[in-house]
Structure 1
Amino acid sequence: MVDDTPNVLQVCTYYYPHTGGIQRLVRALVTGIDDVNFRIVTSQTRGRAAVDEKHGTTVVRAGCLGEVMSTPITPGFPYRLRQHLDWADLVHYHVPFPLGPVSHLLNRVDTPYVATFHDDIIGKGPAIYPYEPVLDRFLDGAERIIVTSPQMRDECARLAGVRDKAAVVPIGVDADDTPVSPKPLDGRRLLFVGRLVDFKGVDHLISAMADVDARLSIVGKGPERESLERHAREEGVTDRVTFEGFVSEERLDELYRAANLFVLPSSAPNESFGIVQLEAMQRGLPVINTSLPTGVPYVSVDGETGRTVPPGEPAEIAAAAEDLLADASRYRRYSENAQRRVRETFTRGQMLEQTLAVYRDALAAD
């Protein structure tokens, strides 16, 4: 009997044990879609090339010399990719990851491919100018382009010429079918979860805490931690702001459940979606996010599941937090709406079904 199960090659910057939003998404795809054979081609965070298995999937890791501007320096990546292109019926690239598009075009193969356009390359300056036409050519050649929100499809200038083949597939999380149970307003605790990098806007959140009668837990690690701790001292809020660092899944769940509000204060469009909003919303937390021209305000909707404020405005964050914490009735309504929105729009099952449909369309179109 001939096995007609399609082989799909996932191509991404890093994979587990490195963790992040793209890694969680790729893991969900390779463990959740049963009608596809998967392999992953990725980079080491540092060190020699290797092949191993994670989550029941072969992971091919190109050797890495280090990282520049969040991009691994992996001279052998085009070769590692070429080794597995003959196996693949379809390649699924996750961008931004310059080595993926560059390696595909260098190999001059005709294997059909789709690309999840997580976000554009932003804030890198002249260094990316030579890459921009490469990325445009790569996107033009894709059978389908997956974006995670209507805003990314409709407002991103990079996609202006390829919107006709863009499919909106929101990121999804596990959501059970237990009855919606709004969280009671039983405290004044705020929570942030994410990498401590500049565009996350955590400095604005810390500044806001000077005008919020509450406590804040900051979960995550990154290059900005030292400066953020210094900023907390300068604002005089160290007694109410706790830096948790990297925490276990069990501890993270405890912090989500202990919190009363979740804040995603991102200040630049590098934040394309904010999956942590979903993790908070499914636990009944209203969200304060920012009005970026990305999927961030699409995930949590202003006046329905929380409040959306202008980016980079601590006073607006503080006012939104005090407003939500002062009205128990509205708080419960937003809490209920948040859980319902996740279950209606952002489930992992929906994401897997929609991604599989994109694969089938791409294979049929080839």
Structure 2
Amino acid sequence: MRVLHATGTFLPVKGGCPYFIHHLTRHLEQCGDTCRVVTTDQGGDVTADTVATDRSGSRKVAGFPVSPGYPLTLRRAIADFEPDIVHTHYPLPFFPETAALCAELADVPLVLTCHGAFEMNWTSLIGAFGSIYNRSLLHASLRAADRIHVSNDAIPGEFGLFDRYKSKLTTVPMGVDTAWYDPDAVDGDPPYPIDSGTMVVLFVGTFRRYKGLDTLIAAFDQIEGIDSRLVLVGDGPLREDVKEAVTERGLGGRVTITGHLNDETLRRAYAGADAFVLPSPTMSESFGLVALEAMAMGLPTLVTSESGVGRVLAQETAGIVVEPNAPETLAREIESILTNKQRYQGQVKAGKTLVADRFAWKSIVECYRTLYREVA
């Protein structure tokens, strides 16, 4: 099977969509399939592409990549690669529409993955654009797609975009590389200062509104009677806001911001922690793969009931699901998991078992291969 991924961003850009494409293409090729990615030049150094990649020149406008040359780059790649499937990715605007048009012109089946949705409101320019885009251009892509893929069953109802396309919907979760995210395979110290006896609460993600970092910082400020450190792995538009919130609460000596980390260093960050928190308060966090990575690394993991991964874990014994935007509740749950040894060990075991049984890439990749065969 020859699979071409058409996307606005790819590694080294950080984020759920680039990492998903990276892991999916790598595991597909391990199964004997051939993959290619057509994307933009966002992200800086692109000399270490993990899969054959075509990049189109671009610039950022209002935070989104814009690439006038992308349609031509994609058409040339399709003609050269002759894919059996074009797999495109939403919510970056215009790239799914371009992929849909190019796939139709080449008579190649199209799979569209919804990784989230544009904010839709009339209180900001971005929100207004999202409202117009989702009600117009996006539907052209959804109509053209032979199959629409989501990572959990809550996405279609939450975003209200797919009512007329229910017959095309397929749910396949994201996967975790359990051979890589294995605490026994880690060598080296964590990439942050830690004193003997200090318990580390870890967050990994981009610093954006929908990540709920304000709630996490407020909750950490309320933790009592525990020698603890909060480690925030990542970066993003709210970095200065996060630093200001930490300073205002007098937490500068107990909070570490590492910036983005490469895969090996991130694995050491997981290994050095005692608990993981993903406080995203809405389905803008449509899945939350880092929570499953943390579980695979043996960390008790706290998520909110309104995030994608929270919807998944609500029916499981693994993971601690709390209400969103509730710092005091989150603080008490963090205290409980760090001080209750029996509960702690139960969460470690349940989390590792859940990821190994249901989310390991070695089995998840076969679901995607089946999807492709059904469409091709």
TM-score, normalised on structure 2?
0.85
2: CA distance, partners of 1:51 / 1:274? 25
Regions of 4+ moved over 6 Å: 50-53, 177-181
Match of 2:162 in 1: 159
Match of 1:199 in 2: 210
Q: Compute the RMSD of aligned alpha carbons.
A: 2.7
| 2:155–2:283 Cα contact (<8 Å) kept | no
Deviation at 1:260, TM superposition (A): 1.3
Match of 2:304 in 1: 290
| 2:97–2:140 Cα contact (<8 Å) kept | no
The answer as to 2:256 corresponding to 1:242 is: yes
Unmatched tracts of structure 2, length 5 or more: 121-125, 185-196
Query: 3-state DSSP class of the match of 1:308?
Result: strand
AA at the equivalent of 1:127: F
Q: 1:252 aligns with which of 260, 266, 270?
A: 266
Deviation at 1:187, TM superposition (A): 5.5
The answer as to 2:69 corresponding to 1:76 is: yes
Greater alpha carbon shift after TM alignment, 171-180 vs 133-142: 171-180
Structure 1 residues 155 and 167: CA distance shift in structure 2, 3 A: same
Match of 2:99 in 1: 104
Query: 3-state DSSP class of the match of 1:353?
Result: helix
1: CA distance, partners of 2:36 / 2:326? 44
Match of 1:331 in 2: 344
2: CA distance, partners of 1:177 / 1:127? 40
Deviation at 1:36, TM superposition (A): 2.6
Give the percent of matched residue pairs that are identical in Structure 1 and Structure 2. 32
| 1:101–1:134 Cα contact (<8 Å) kept | no
2: CA distance, partners of 1:46 / 1:240? 31
Q: Deviations over 1:18-56 (max 9, x none)?
A: 232222221222222134322211011179xx998832x
Match of 1:25 in 2: 20
Structure 1 residues 359 and 105: CA distance shift in structure 2, 3 A: closer
Match of 2:194 in 1: none
Deviation at 1:156, TM superposition (A): 3.5
Deviation at 1:154, TM superposition (A): 4.8
| 1:11–1:93 Cα contact (<8 Å) kept | yes
Query: 3-state DSSP class of the match of 2:164?
Result: coil
Match of 1:190 in 2: 201
Q: 1:261 aligns with which of 248, 265, 275?
A: 275
Deviation at 1:100, TM superposition (A): 1.9
| 2:219–2:327 Cα contact (<8 Å) kept | yes
| 2:182–2:297 Cα contact (<8 Å) kept | no
Structure 1 residues 334 and 46: CA distance shift in structure 2, 3 A: closer
Query: 3-state DSSP class of the match of 1:131?
Result: helix
Deviation at 1:162, TM superposition (A): 1.5
Structure 1 residues 175 and 104: CA distance shift in structure 2, 3 A: closer
Q: 1:147 aligns with which of 142, 145, 150?
A: 150
1: CA distance, partners of 2:46 / 2:278? 36
The answer as to 2:356 corresponding to 1:346 is: no
Deviation at 1:90, TM superposition (A): 1.6
Q: Deviations over 1:210-256 (max 9, x none)?
A: 21132211111112111111111111222211112223433322221
Match of 1:227 in 2: 241
1: CA distance, partners of 2:261 / 2:370? 36
TM-score, normalised on structure 1?
0.87
2: CA distance, partners of 1:191 / 1:300? 19
| 1:93–1:116 Cα contact (<8 Å) kept | yes
1: CA distance, partners of 2:109 / 2:47? 25
| 1:10–1:93 Cα contact (<8 Å) kept | yes
Greater alpha carbon shift after TM alignment, 212-221 vs 17-26: 17-26
Match of 2:41 in 1: 44
Correspondence 1:200-219 to 2 at 5 A = 200-212=211-223, 213=226, 214-219=228-233
AA at the equivalent of 1:167: T
Q: Deviations over 1:254-306 (max 9, x none)?
A: 221221110001123211111110110001111111111x5221444477223
1: CA distance, partners of 2:18 / 2:159? 23
| 1:52–1:58 Cα contact (<8 Å) kept | no
